[in-house]
Structure 1
Amino acid sequence: MSDAATTRSGPDERAPAAGPVTFVGAGQMGAPMVQRLLRAGVDVTLHARRPEVRQTFTELGAHTTASLADAVKGAGVVISCLFNESQVEQALLAPDGLIALLEPGTVLVSHTTVGIRLLARVDEAATARGVSLLDAPVSGAPDDILAGRLTILAGGDPAVVERARPALETYGTVLPTGPTGSASRVKLVNNLLFTVNVQTAAAAAALGQQLGVETKALFTALQHCSAATRAIETMRDVGSIERYAELGAKYLRKDVAAALATAAEEGADPGVLAYTAHHGPLPLTAS
Structure 2
Amino acid sequence: MRMSADQSRTIAFLGLGIMGSPMAANLVRAGHTVVGYNRSRPPVDRLIEAGGRGADSIAAAVADADVVITMLPADRQVTEVVLGEGGVLAHVRPGTLLIDMSSVGPQTAVAIAEAGRAKGVRVLDAPVSGGEAGAVDAVLSIMAGGDADDFAAAEPLFRALGTTVVHVGPHGAGQTVKAANQLIVAVNIQALAEAVVFLEKAGADLPAALEVLGGGLAGSTVLTRKKDAMLNRDFKPGFRIDLHHKDMGIVTEAARANGTVLPLGSLAAQLMASARANGDGTLDHSALLRGVERLSGRTTD
Query: Against the structure 1 CA distance between its residues 279 and 31, is the aligned structure 2 distance closer, same or farther, given a 3 Å change threshold?
Result: closer
1:263 is displaced (CA, Å) by 1.3
Q: What CA distance in whole angstroms lies between the structure 2 residues aligned with 1:140 and 1:151?
A: 6
Query: Against the structure 1 CA distance between its residues 245 and 207, is the aligned structure 2 distance closer, same or farther, given a 3 Å change threshold?
Result: farther
Aligned residues: 274
Partner of 1:58: 48
Corresponding letter in the other structure for 1:142: E
Taking structure 2 as the reference length, what is the TM-score of the superposition? 0.83
When the two chains are superposed, the root-mean-square deviation of aligned CA atoms in Å is 2.4
1:164-190 CA distances to partner (integer Å, 9 max, x unpaired)? 111221121321111111111111011
* Aligned pair partner of 2:245 in 245, 253, 273: 253
Counting aligned pairs with the same residue, the percent is 30
Q: What CA distance in whole angstroms lies between the structure 2 residues aligned with 1:53 and 1:143?
A: 17
**1:176 corresponds to 2:167:** yes
Q: Secondary structure at the match of 2:218?
A: coil
The answer to whether the 8 A contact 2:58-2:86 is kept is: no
Q: What CA distance in whole angstroms lies between the structure 2 residues aligned with 1:256 and 1:75?
A: 33
Query: Against the structure 1 CA distance between its residues 48 and 167, is the aligned structure 2 distance closer, same or farther, given a 3 Å change threshold?
Result: same
Partner of 1:9: none
Taking structure 1 as the reference length, what is the TM-score of the superposition? 0.87
Query: Against the structure 1 CA distance between its residues 225 and 245, is the aligned structure 2 distance closer, same or farther, given a 3 Å change threshold?
Result: farther
1:148 is displaced (CA, Å) by 1.7
Partner of 1:133: 123
Q: Aligned runs of 1:12-27 on 2, under 5 Å?
A: 15=3, 17-27=7-17
Partner of 2:287: none
Q: Secondary structure at the match of 1:175?
A: strand
1:220-263 CA distances to partner (integer Å, 9 max, x unpaired)? 22111111122222221214385449874222212111111221
Q: Secondary structure at the match of 1:119?
A: helix
**1:185 corresponds to 2:176:** yes
Partner of 1:238: 229
**Could you list the runs of 5+ residues in structure 1 that have no partner in the other structure?**
1-12
Q: Secondary structure at the match of 1:240?
A: helix
The answer to whether the 8 A contact 2:71-2:101 is kept is: yes
* Aligned pair partner of 1:46 in 36, 39, 42: 36
Q: What CA distance in whole angstroms lies between the structure 2 residues aligned with 1:63 and 1:245?
A: 29
**1:262 corresponds to 2:250:** no
Q: What CA distance in whole angstroms lies between the structure 2 residues aligned with 1:283 and 1:14?
A: 46
Partner of 2:218: 227
Choose 42-51 or 101-110, whichever is displaced more: 42-51
Choose 224-233 or 130-139, whichever is displaced more: 224-233
Choose 247-256 or 62-71, whichever is displaced more: 247-256
Partner of 1:213: 204
